[in-house]
Amino acid sequence: MNETDFDQTVNADLNVTTSNSRFDSPETLELESTELENLPADGTMQASEGTHSGFVAIVGKPNVGKSTLLNNLLGVKISPITSKPQTTRRGVRGIFTTLERTHQIVFIDTPGLHKAKDALGKYMNQEVSSALSDVDALVWVVDLRHPPTDEDGMVARQIKSVPKPLILVGNKTDAAKYPDEAMRYYADLLGEREFQQWMLSAQNDTFKVQELKAAILAVLPENPFFFPEGSASDQTREFWAGEIVREEAMKRLEEEIPYAIATRVNHWHEREDGLQKIFCDLVVEKVGHRAIVIGKGGSKLKEIGQAARKQLEVLLNTKVYLELKVITMPRWREDQEALRELGYE
């Protein structure tokens, strides 16, 4: 796998420079991770007697609103959202603990199950299968604007055999013309499988989303907590920031380019005055794509960087310096080594 020289570097403060530097190999990078530390050897946390906790997989085909639902269930953004399918590529864990410290849900936002065309697609589908292998409950999200497709059938076949509580969530009721009829078609795919069903708009029905969360809490088994109270996710800050950058890039790019972009945060430094300095690569497959992502005079890259920086500053509640580089990895979606290097493993 070869990496080419990047053309331009841009930071979100609008300073654009050209560079002929080579991209450093991952082994030489200094990463400042904020992964959870000091967990017990068995992965569980000590909690009072009678606590309930469990892993809940959110599944569905691409672009049905799984990530929107997760973010609103948590009340905090941990998963990227765009109008384009296959935005989520890795299983993202979001953690909710009740104020009473009696229940904890570990949500797993899975990629959309689809017919894979490359190694990345196969990896994404494997993420779904892995999530289903050890869960305590399932939430299947469907789009009520449309009747079921072959991909919905793929999801139904996978979850019918999982002997755990299942909740069928019909989403996008605010835009569906015949939501009740569509819901019946989706329910029929489950055959004799027992399940609860909910109809809502994950984006707009705040009250119903909270009711759904209560229904999920009610089916959790008795377990100690798996994560410390107050945790929102198990992702590193580097992964999370990279996903914010990728989200903003996907929103602003068209055709095949959004699906051929990956991100990688190489360095994160916090200055004494609180400024967060984040250095992130945007990875594309073709030289032509690189030129489009950069834009004339660096305009597109500036736009992506400004939007991502604004999000990061709001979510981190501090000033952020964000520097983006665009590099080329030919056919990285087909290259197992490249996928591992970009974190898809």
Reference 338, options 243, 249, 262, 275; nearest CA is 262
Alpha carbon distance 118, 335 (integer Å): 9
Domain with CATH 3.40.50.300 in the chain: 52-218
Question: What does the block give as tokens for 235?
Answer: 């992702």
Range 8-28+235-341: architecture per CATH? 2-Layer Sandwich (3.30)
pLDDT given for residue 24 in this prediction: 31
pLDDT given for residue 137 in this prediction: 97
Instruction: Confirm if 131 and 91 have CB atoms less than 8 A apart.
Output: yes
pTM: 0.78
Alpha carbon distance 50, 58 (integer Å): 25
Domain with CATH 3.30.300.20 in the chain: 8-28+235-341
Instruction: Confirm if 278 and 318 have CB atoms less than 8 A apart.
Output: no
pLDDT given for residue 128 in this prediction: 79
Alpha carbon distance 186, 207 (integer Å): 23
pLDDT given for residue 321 in this prediction: 97
Reference 200, options 294, 101, 64; nearest CA is 64
52-218: CATH homologous superfamily? P-loop containing nucleotide triphosphate hydrolases (3.40.50.300)
pLDDT given for residue 5 in this prediction: 38
Give the model's confidence band at 82: pLDDT under 50 very low, under 70 low, under 90 confident, else very high.
confident
Question: What does the block give as tokens for 294?
Answer: 């950069």
Instruction: Confirm if 299 and 252 have CB atoms less than 8 A apart.
Output: no
> Could you tell me which residues are beta bridge partners of residue 280?
265, 324
Alpha carbon distance 235, 262 (integer Å): 17
Long-range contacts (CB closer than 8 Å, 24 or more residues apart) made by 315-319: 315/77, 315/244, 316/276, 318/274, 318/275, 318/276, 319/274, 319/275, 319/276
Judged by DSSP in three states, 193 sits in: coil
Angle at 15 between CA 9 and CA 16, to 5 degrees: 40
Each residue's pLDDT tens digit, 225-265: 999 988 898 888 998 999 999 999 999 998 878 888 999 99
Number of H helices, E strands in the chain: 9, 11
pLDDT given for residue 120 in this prediction: 80
Each residue's pLDDT tens digit, 182-235: 999 999 999 999 999 999 999 999 999 999 999 999 999 999 999 998 889 888
pLDDT given for residue 25 in this prediction: 30
Give the model's confidence band at 86: pLDDT under 50 very low, under 70 low, under 90 confident, else very high.
low
Question: What does the block give as tokens for 93?
Answer: 């864990």
